[in-house]
Amino acid sequence: MSEYVFANQLDEEMTLNMGPHHPSTHGVLRFVIESDGEIIRRAVPDVGYLHRSIEKIGERCTYPGYMPYTDRVDYLAAMFANEAWASACEKLMGIEVPKRAQYLRVISCELNRIASHMIALGAMAMDVGAVTPFPWTLREREYINDFIEELCGARLTYNYHRIGGVSFDLPAGWREKVTKWLDHFGPIMEEFDRLITYNEIYVNRLGNVCVITKDVAIDYGLVGPNLRASGFKWDLRKDMPYGAYPDFEFDVPVGQGLKGAVGDCWDRFYVRVEECKQSARIVRQALEKIDAHPEGDIVGKLPKKMRPSAEAYARIESARGDMGCYVVGNGKEEPYRCRFRTGSYNATGIIEPMSRGIFIADLVALIASLDVVAPEIDR
């Protein structure tokens, strides 16, 4: 009788908690996992641990005074939230950004895209068992942190962009330092491909795992690298150009199913690797072309009082895809409404349906491949 009861207990489903403090949740994020042994029945995201009322704070600050808070929307890619807020306010008040400031925005954002992807790639490799690539990616990210610190004085929460432009011009000798690093970064990424991207063990571990087809990706509102990895070529920098991006030549990497099915975990890794190379290409062009716009104003002409009575929505291509900022003014110095649309929120929504029937170990790979960041989910 006791043996029979014990056998039945082994067949029962288990409820497990993954997080909120777990190295593979990429932030203070919890998943309630219902599993039958190693097979997941479903994994339900439980969000809200990092909610800080950032959007409500925006309704209690002046338009320029809210800029430092936007850094906290995505602490791995703060430049993009800076730009989204600045762009929305510029639309709202009809402010024109000088060309040199647009170039400085491109340079700072593309460097930040590489830095963010370095964390995503290194952490994903480590999550599935490859420890060596993470220090490699951290090393390159540290170079970028040094450059951005020299540019604006901060290494993580930058507060660099301003309504109408940016806060600082290029420091003396900065362009030469970045160009020298770009010469180093190209061969490093080729070596990174040999180390991990095309590593046979890594490819076999991620190929054909958690495939998200193009139609499913669109239905769930995936954006950025997650959408492009599913084979849908959509990038705001190309399809809805903004700022100085029309001045540069670059490619938009998409998933091709080179090592499995289109839209698998490996494709999501591969697309981010290729995006790093394209971002480096954009930065190099911007540094070469910025002299065509001589030193001058890096902030456009601003109204004496920022008290708009209108609404505006701005979209930019963040490291995690389409980031939108919606702002409503009602004639006061503070916005009436302030809202952000982020890629991580929708990416988290696809984890539950994708988790059904996969191994617990593959859930780790799925979460890492989507590159979700907790502050973008909760705000």
pLDDT tens digits, one per residue of 239-254: 999 999 999 999 999 9
- Residue 243 covered by a domain: yes
4 has a pLDDT exceeding 60: no
Please give the pLDDT value at position 333: 92
- Residue 8 covered by a domain: no
Query: Can you tell me the mean pLDDT for 121-145?
Result: 92
Mean pLDDT for the chain overall: 90
Q: How confident is the model at residue 13 (pLDDT cuts 50, 70, 90)?
A: confident
Query: Can you tell me the mean pLDDT for 115-142?
Result: 92
- Residue 40 covered by a domain: no
**Whole-prediction pTM value?**
0.92
Q: How confident is the model at residue 196 (pLDDT cuts 50, 70, 90)?
A: very high
| Of 97, 108, 12, 63, residue with least CA distance to 332 | 63
Burial category of 13 from C-beta neighbours within 10 Å (exposed 0-12, middle 13-18, buried 19 and up): exposed
Please give the pLDDT value at position 287: 94
Residue 51: strand pairing partners: none
The count of domains in the chain is 1
Lowest mean pLDDT, pick from 46-55, 148-157, 268-277: 46-55
| Of 216, 219, 234, residue with least CA distance to 317 | 234
200 has a pLDDT exceeding 90: yes
Query: Can you tell me the mean pLDDT for 211-221?
Result: 94
Please give the pLDDT value at position 5: 42
- Residue 208 covered by a domain: yes
Q: How confident is the model at residue 18 (pLDDT cuts 50, 70, 90)?
A: confident
| Of 369, 326, 324, residue with least CA distance to 343 | 324
Query: Can you tell me the mean pLDDT for 179-201?
Result: 93
- Residue 182 covered by a domain: yes
**369: Cβ contacts below 8 Å, ≥ 6 apart:** 124, 206, 210, 265, 268, 269
Please give the pLDDT value at position 11: 60
pLDDT in tens, 268-300: 999 999 999 999 999 999 999 998 777 778 988
Please give the pLDDT value at position 21: 80
- Which range of residues forms the domain containing residue 360? 52-378
- Residue 27 covered by a domain: no
Please give the pLDDT value at position 10: 52
- Residue 287 covered by a domain: yes
Strands 321-328 and 337-341: what pairing?
Answer: antiparallel
pLDDT in tens, 77-98: 999 999 999 999 999 999 999 9
As a whole-number percent, the residues of the chain with pLDDT over 90 amount to: 69
pLDDT in tens, 322-353: 999 999 999 899 999 999 999 898 899 999 99
3 state SS of 204: helix
Query: Can you tell me the mean pLDDT for 19-41?
Result: 84
Please give the pLDDT value at position 6: 39
- Residue 44 covered by a domain: no
Tell me the C-alpha distance between 357 and 40, whole Å.
5
The beta strand positions in 11-164, using DSSP E, are 14-18, 30-36, 39-46, 161-162
Q: How confident is the model at residue 12 (pLDDT cuts 50, 70, 90)?
A: confident
CA-CA distances (angstroms) from residue 115 to 94, 133, 140? 32, 14, 8
Which CATH number do you get for residue 199?
Answer: 1.10.645.10
